[in-house]
Amino acid sequence: MMKSADVATTNGTEPATPTRSAKAAGAVATWADERLGLGTAMKKQLRKVFPDHWSFMLGEIALWSFVILLLTGVFLTLFFDPSMTEVQYNGSYDPLRGVHMSRAMASTLEISFDVRGGLLMRQMHHWAAMIFIAAMMIHLLRVYLTGAFRKPRELNWIIGCLLLLLGTIEGFTGYSLPDDLLSGTGVRAADGFMKASPVVGTYMSFFLFGGEFPGDQIIPRLYAAHILLIPGLLLALITAHMLLLVYHKHTQWPGPGRTEENVVGYPLLPVYMAKAGGFFFIVFGMTALLGGLFTLNPVWKYGPYDPSKVTAGSQPDWYMGWPDGLLRIIPPWETHIWGVTLSWNIMLPILIAPPLMLMVLIALPFLEQWITGDKREHHLLQRPRNAPTRTAVMAALITFYGLSWAAGGNDIIAIKMHLSINQITYFLRGAVIIGPIIAFMITRRWCISLQRHDQEKLLHGYETGVIVRSPDGGYAEKHLPISETKAYTLTARDREEVYTANGTADEAGVAAPGGKVAEVAKKIRSKLSALMFADNVQKPTAEELHEAQHHADHELHELEHQIATGPNKHGPTDDDH
């Protein structure tokens, strides 16, 4: 058991003996404190507690990738020229020498072939971008699946969702800058998306491109967005995200001594600072290794953008893969009515689906709160199995995402697995609808059965694998009780109640205020509440547990007795004769 001396204090247990350097440092600290009041500001922060768990470091991958993006990006801006003025390439890469291209492409080639370390920095920047968005996504999954988005962290959830959106846009603008064949094809598709927008489509396109596609404005404009506007927003939102993290303090897994009112872990100074700082170097090092060892986007092979050229395997970067996949599997729906054209085959996959997905993500915490009516603060995490419906919702979303994503690589799947691209497309058209439903059902059942398994362990102990035969020929497995720590951790969760609609109406004797709409809303809420909680396994009460343990003790005693007296005594070989 812990003694009070171990509880967080702002200083060590014993005062350090002052040395000369410490004195100098103290002088600096005094100087700074007299001007900035650092003493008060840092009082609580220096030894701020962060709980330790690998899944709490996923967001950090995203954070550090962003820092790497800033560093490598600054290097690239020193050499990159975002101009679409046509020049004749005259650099070191022979196969393109003499070819006309934009200055943007020419300077990208210069970075790659005439600046030492330039190609490394380009590739690191690109790898870091791909990891940045991937890390944001797995961080989002962790936060969602453990219930870390619940009050008071809903706003941070929204900020996170916006970061994911901005990161994706930032990635797309960066992908477009080199003005090579692949990025140009991407920009051309983006032009098609814009033109498909109802009413204002062509105007949006002409304004963005400074005239007709491709014009000579798009890259300078995307560049401004890529290095100033969006990074500025990202930086601001990341700051807000971090400040809220500090204010709310980190969530933690339930366990002995870990409650809703405290946070147990290591202090920022020195342990967490070392771990987080060390992780920065690891993410940076990993990115450098990827950038140095693995080719990414060899623009010299794609050549400059030319609207008449295209290459097989024209794909966006992975994070744009899922809307691109939807674009591939959407049936040819186009409406011609009242003299206008509505391109559903573009609007649904790219103008409607991604914003809708974002809105669903943002709405999830509020939807859950509305169904549960839970207004309490939550700082203890839930295991995914203990929120079966929530977990199943995310499984459905992931399945939808994954299948759409696979559709985005249908041509590569076709050649690598010797399948017909047409068959893959037909299959995925059905699978993106049915797959998520199946995933929802399977995941929900799976979680509930895991809950039952936990309950079993709690009530009857864990399975030892020792099979005992009773004198009357029956077989039973020996169970032993689990440790107190484990048992407590399993029970450290809320009891859930299904919301029923007829509460207020009955009390007042009349319909609740709000009339019919409110009534319907309540009915829906109670249905959803039943879906969320009705099938879940609730933890046992103290009496139930006591009784079960008593029963298990008795059974164990009986088995022990049988082992001592029964045929098992002589081992199984005797039975054979």
Partner 1 sequence: MTDAHDTSNDDANSGGGGELVPQEPIPDPGLPAHTWRPTDVDPKKEKRAEIQVAALFGLSAICTILFVVAYFTYDIGDNWHVIGGLGASTVALGATLGLALLFIGVAVIQWARKLMGDHEIIELRHPASSPEEDRATTLAALKVGIEEASIARRPLIRNSMLGALGLLGLPAVVLLRDLGTLPGDKLEHTIWGQGGRKIKTVENGKEVTVTVPKMRVARDAIGTPILASDLEIGDLVNAQPEVLFNPTRYHMEHADVEGVELQIHKSKASLILLRMEPADIKPGKGRENWDVNGIVAYSKICTHVGCPISLNERTTHHLLCPCHQSTFDLTDSGRVVFGPAGRPLPQLPLEVDEQGYLVAQSDFTEPVGPSYWERDYERDRFAEGD
Partner 2 sequence: MRLLNRSAGRLSRHRRGPIAGLVVLLLGLLLTGGLYAAFAPAQADSTQSQEELVEEGRELFIVGCAFCHGQNGEGVLTQGGDQYGPALTDVGAAAVDFQVGTGRMPMAAPGNQAPRKEVVYTDDEIAALSAYVASLGTGPSIPDAELYDPDTLSDEEYDEYVTRGGQIFLANCTACHNFEGSGGAMPRGGYAPKIRGVDPKHIYEAMLTGPQSMDTFSDGNIPPDDKKAVIAYLDTLNEQPNYGGFTFGNLGPVSDGLVAWLVGIGGLVGFAVWIAAHTTRTSKEKDGADA
Residues 399-428 that bind partner 2 (CB under 8 A): 408-412, 414-415, 418-423
Nearest distance from residue 414's CB to partner 2, in Å? 4
Which tokens in the block code for residue 355? 């914003």
Is residue 54 a contact residue for partner 2 (CB under 8 A)?
A: yes
Is residue 95 a contact residue for partner 2 (CB under 8 A)?
A: yes
Residue 179, Ramachandran bin (φ over 0: left; ψ between -120 and 50: alpha; else beta): left
Partner that binds at residue 172, options partner 2, partner 1, none, CB closer than 5 to 8 Å by kind = none
Is residue 17 a contact residue for partner 2 (CB under 8 A)?
A: no
Count other C-beta atoms under 10 Å from residue 401's C-beta: 17
Partner that binds at residue 470, options partner 2, partner 1, none, CB closer than 5 to 8 Å by kind = none
Partner that binds at residue 302, options partner 1, partner 2, none, CB closer than 5 to 8 Å by kind = partner 2
- In this chain, which of 121, 238, 283, 330 binds partner 2, going by CB under 8 A? 283
Is residue 306 a contact residue for partner 2 (CB under 8 A)?
A: yes
Would you say 99 and 303 are in contact if contact means Cβ atoms under 8 Å apart?
Answer: yes
Would you say 292 and 120 are in contact if contact means Cβ atoms under 8 Å apart?
Answer: yes
Q: Which of 76, 59, 169, 72 is nearest to 115 (CA)?
A: 76
Is residue 292 a contact residue for partner 1 (CB under 8 A)?
A: yes
Distance separating the N- and C-terminal Cα atoms of the chain: 55
Partner that binds at residue 545, options partner 2, partner 1, none, CB closer than 5 to 8 Å by kind = partner 1
Is residue 270 a contact residue for partner 1 (CB under 8 A)?
A: yes
Partner that binds at residue 116, options partner 2, partner 1, none, CB closer than 5 to 8 Å by kind = partner 1
Partner that binds at residue 369, options partner 2, partner 1, none, CB closer than 5 to 8 Å by kind = none
Count other C-beta atoms under 10 Å from residue 208's C-beta: 18
Is residue 282 a contact residue for partner 1 (CB under 8 A)?
A: yes
Longest dimension (CA), the chain: 95
**Could you say which residues in the range 424-453 bind partner 1, by CB under 8 A?**
425
Is residue 294 a contact residue for partner 2 (CB under 8 A)?
A: yes
Q: What angle do CA 222, 86, 314 make, to 5 degrees?
A: 55
Residues 6+ apart with CB under 8 A from 449: none
**Could you say which residues in the range 160-199 bind partner 2, by CB under 8 A?**
181-182
- Comparing CB distances to partner 1, the nearer of 72 and 391 is 72
Is residue 508 a contact residue for partner 1 (CB under 8 A)?
A: no
Q: Tell how strand 335-337 and strand 340-342 pair up.
A: antiparallel
Q: Which of 165, 143, 145, 163 is nearest to 154 (CA)?
A: 143
Count other C-beta atoms under 10 Å from residue 334's C-beta: 13
Nearest distance from residue 111's CB to partner 1, in Å? 11
Partner that binds at residue 469, options partner 2, partner 1, none, CB closer than 5 to 8 Å by kind = none
CA gap 539, 488 in Å, rounded: 11
Which tokens in the block code for residue 235? 């930086």
Is residue 199 a contact residue for partner 1 (CB under 8 A)?
A: yes
Q: Segment near partner 1 (CB under 8 A), from 75-83, 128-136, 141-149, 533-541?
A: 533-541
Partner that binds at residue 197, options partner 2, partner 1, none, CB closer than 5 to 8 Å by kind = partner 1
- Per-residue x/- track, 385-424, partner 1 (CB under 8 A): -------------------------xx---------xx--
CA gap 4, 256 in Å, rounded: 16
- Three-state DSSP at 255 gives strand
Nearest distance from residue 98's CB to partner 1, in Å? 13
Amino acid code (one letter) for 547: E
Q: Tell how strand 86-88 and strand 49-50 pair up.
A: unpaired
Nearest distance from residue 43's CB to partner 1, in Å? 9
